[in-house]
Every structure is written in structure tokens, then in C-alpha cells.
Amino acid sequence: MKFNKKNFNHYCIFISYSIIFLVAFLSSLIVKKKHNKIFLIGHRFEGNLESFVKLNHLKYDFTYLTFNNDIANKNKYAIKYLNISNIIELLNAKVIISTHGILFHRLIKLKNIITINIGHGVQTSNVDLSHSELNLFNEVWLCTQLEKNVLLNDCGYSANNLKVTGFVKHQEIYYSNLRINQETNKSENQQSYWLYAPTAVSNNNNNRQNLFNVKNPQFLEELNKLSINNACKTIIKPHYNDVIKNKDTAEINKLISGFQNLVFIDEVDIDKNNFLSNLTDVLITDWSSIYLDYLIIDKPIIFLNSSKRRKKITVSKYLENDFIKRINSYEDLNELQNQSFKVPNKELKKFIFGNLDVEKINETCNERLRSIFV
């Protein structure tokens, strides 16, 4: 659960958990039952967390903590935060793996628990991280050497806990794509899908005038033309924050309903248990790091030069470099009717991933864990 300052219920949940944690912490000083479970913490059970469990569920005993009762009831790995016995068990764990920060991290460290940040996305902006909570983790597993360079050189990060392992999600995407290519041969009549997946938009009231914004009807019209000309349907996938936090689903659905070759993500009849990067042929994005999922498997990417969400923040080398060429107008977009843009960007891939061996990411992560469980 990501804390929403505008949601009163989140304050109630936080207060309840604070009381439970304090009682559990005091109890754990007396009830000491160390175990080898690996506790997982994150806003959602997806990405690196989910992939790490899929690839290693036979090796380790995983437990995912959640505030969501539905997830706790449906996911065999999940248990509830708001249960004192669960938190006592958390405080007797040897390892916690998290995608984001950890509530009461400093107190947890007093229990000599190893904490690892497995990552949920790369560092896409150059901000001051000299006092970041990342400093509290024993290890921070990074996607690439480029990310380590960005953190150290552009973000002022100074802790000696950065480890370049690669994102285990990318290994799963890589092998999943190989399997799909081996099992299926797309026929000429099979529907081709592209994906439009932008980063979160600002709350600017002029969104409809922004050139490449999903709420701009003219942009949707141009995107529909592009889809028709390339004999595909384009899936519209707004950023999670825009759909959940700002509750724009109905508005976006209404906007795209009049375009025959555009479809909202929830209405697409495809296997949602698989990665979208495996099921779609081309990605259209702007300032989102989702493009790494396509780059790792050599799929074509169209980068739009849309308005940035936060104008005062400098984006990192992941999003502005010599190898990303951005579309600046509808005319440029409409010229993408030939196959030239579908050539994989090998130079960009080399710049981002360097010499990372994607097939050994999980092995590298396991090597780091084995040293803990010795």
C-alpha cells in the first residue's frame, strides 16, 4: 500500500499499525524465535518481488506482508500487516526484501535483520539522495552499472551498499519472450498489438492541450491513424497513479471509445499473467522507464517528447542521452508508417545495460543471499 495523504483511512491504518508494531517489537525482545523465512515488502506484489518468488519459490520460504485483505486471502504467500503475531514473526526474520522503504526501518535494524532493496524502477531523475532511506539497507540491488553511476555521480549518494545485480524481472521477461517465440508463430491474420504507456501526468488543467497527452483528443486521433496505418491495435495503459490515485479510468475510457484501433488496457483479451512486453510488438512511451522491459528483448520503442510532469527536476541519463531520439510533432509520428523504426536500438541497449548478463541475474541475486544464510 502506498500512503495517500488525502485518504483518511490510510492515517487510521498507519496509527493502527504503529500500535501493533510497538507491542510486537517489545514482545519480540522476549519471544525470540528466529527462522529462515524471507519477508517481502512492497506497495504491490509485482515486478521484481513477484519474479523473484516465481524463480526461487522452491529454494526459500517467502512471506509477503500486505495491508490489503483481498490480496492476503487470495495470494498464498501473503499475510496481513495488522496482525501482531505476523509482525512478531517479521521481527524474528533473518532477511527482509523490499521494493520501497520499510516502516520503522531503524527499529527493525536494531533486531539485526538484513534488509535488501530489490528495486521497483530505475533512478529516472537527478535528485539529492545523500540522506535517502536507501542508506539504511544492507544492500541495494541495482538494475545496471549506469544506475550506480547516476546515484553516485548525479544524486550525491554515498553509502557503500550498492550492488549491481540486474532486475530479476528482466530475466523473467527475457526467458518468457524466448518461450513465446518458440511456441507460437504469428499468422498474417493474427491481431498485432502495440502499447502506449506514458509516465504519470501532472494535475495541470491544460492536459488536453499537451501534444502527446492521453486526454488530448487530437493526440488520440493521431494515435488511431498510426495504428490503422500499421495494421495494429494500440493498448492504452495510463500510469498506475493516474488510474488509481486520480481515478481517471472512466474519463480515459470515454475519450478513447470513439477510436476503432485504440483499446483500454482492461478491455484487452490477452493473457494478463504474462508481461505486456512479451504480448505487444511495439512500445510508445515518453518519460517512463517501462521502456527497459522492451529494450531487454530487442523490441522497437517510440519515444515521445511529451510535457514533463515535474519541470524543476532534471531527468537522469536513463531518459536523456545521445541514443534516445524523440518524436516532437504529429507529423513525425505519422511518418512512422514504414518499418525503419522497428530496427532494435542496439546502441541504446549497450548504453543502458552495458555488459550485464541477463541470463544470470537470478543467479547473481542468489549468490548474495547464500552468503546471508550461511
Look up the CATH number of the domain holding residue 282. Answer: 3.40.50
Assess if residue 1 is contained within a domain. Answer: no
Residue 70 lies in domain: 8-170+358-373
Together in a domain, 88 and 75? yes
311 within domain boundaries: yes
The arithmetic mean of pLDDT across residues 237-258, rounded, is 73
Nearest by Cα to 143 from 162, 160, 165? 165
- Residues near 198 by beta carbon (within 8 Å), at least 6 away in sequence: 212, 213, 214, 238, 239, 285, 286, 287, 288, 304, 306
Given a cut of 60, is residue 73 above it in pLDDT?
A: yes
Residue of higher predicted confidence among 184 and 247: 184
Within this chain, do residues 234 and 268 fall inside the same structural domain, yes or no? yes
Residue 53 inside a domain? The answer is yes
Residue 60 lies in a domain: yes
Report pLDDT for 371. Answer: 82
The verdict on 77 and 185 lying in the same domain is: no
- Residue 2 is assigned to a structural domain of this protein: no
Range with the lowest mean pLDDT among 116-130, 200-214, 284-298, 304-318?
200-214
pLDDT digits (tens, 9 = 90+) for 16-50: 999 999 999 999 988 778 888 999 999 989 999 99
Residues 250 and 125 reside in one and the same domain: no
* Structural domain count of the chain: 2
Alpha-carbon separation of residue 331 from 207, 211, 221, 363 (angstroms) = 20, 12, 13, 46
For 151, 173, 176, 293, 348, the CA distances from 296, given in Å and listed in that order, are 21, 8, 12, 6, 10
* 149/244 same-domain check: no
Q: Which residue type does 73 have?
A: N
Give the pLDDT mean for 1-6: 64
Asked whether residue 211 falls in the same domain as residue 310, the answer is yes
Contact criterion met (CB below 8 Å) for 23 and 139: no
Residues forming beta bridges with residue 141, ordered by sequence position: 163
pLDDT score for 204:
53
Please indicate, yes or no, whether residues 222 and 158 belong to a single structural domain of this protein: no
How confident is the model over 206-221, as pLDDT tens digits? 555 578 988 889 999 9
- Evaluate whether residue 3 is within a structural domain: no
Question: Are both 232 and 367 inside the same structural domain?
Answer: no
Mean pLDDT of 176-182: 86
Q: Residue 244: pLDDT above 60?
A: no
Task: Indicate if the pLDDT at residue 332 is higher than 60.
Answer: yes
Q: Per mean pLDDT, which range of 169-183, 262-276, 329-343, 354-368 is the poorest?
A: 329-343
Per-residue pLDDT, averaged over 90-102, amounts to: 95
Q: Are residues 200 and 295 in the same domain?
A: yes
Question: d(Cα 31, Cα 92) in Å, to the nearest integer?
Answer: 9
Q: How many helices (H) and strands (E) does the chain have?
A: 15, 15
pLDDT given at position 172: 96
Q: 283 in helix, strand or coil? A: strand
Strand order in the sheet with 78-80: 78-80, 62-66, 38-41, 95-98, 114-117, 139-142, 162-164
* For range 171-195, the mean pLDDT: 82
On whether both 214 and 338 belong to a single domain, the answer is yes
pLDDT tops 60 at residue 246: no
Whether pLDDT at 178 is above 60: yes
What pLDDT does residue 340 have? 56
CATH number at residue 362: 3.40.50.11820
pLDDT over threshold 70, residue 3: no
Residue 81 lies in a domain: yes
Mean pLDDT calculated for residue range 146-174: 97
Q: Are residues 135 and 273 in the same domain?
A: no
**Same domain (yes/no): 206, 143:** no
Whether residue 270 is contained in a domain is answered as yes
Per-residue pLDDT at 188 exceeds 90? no
Give residue 39's pLDDT. Answer: 97
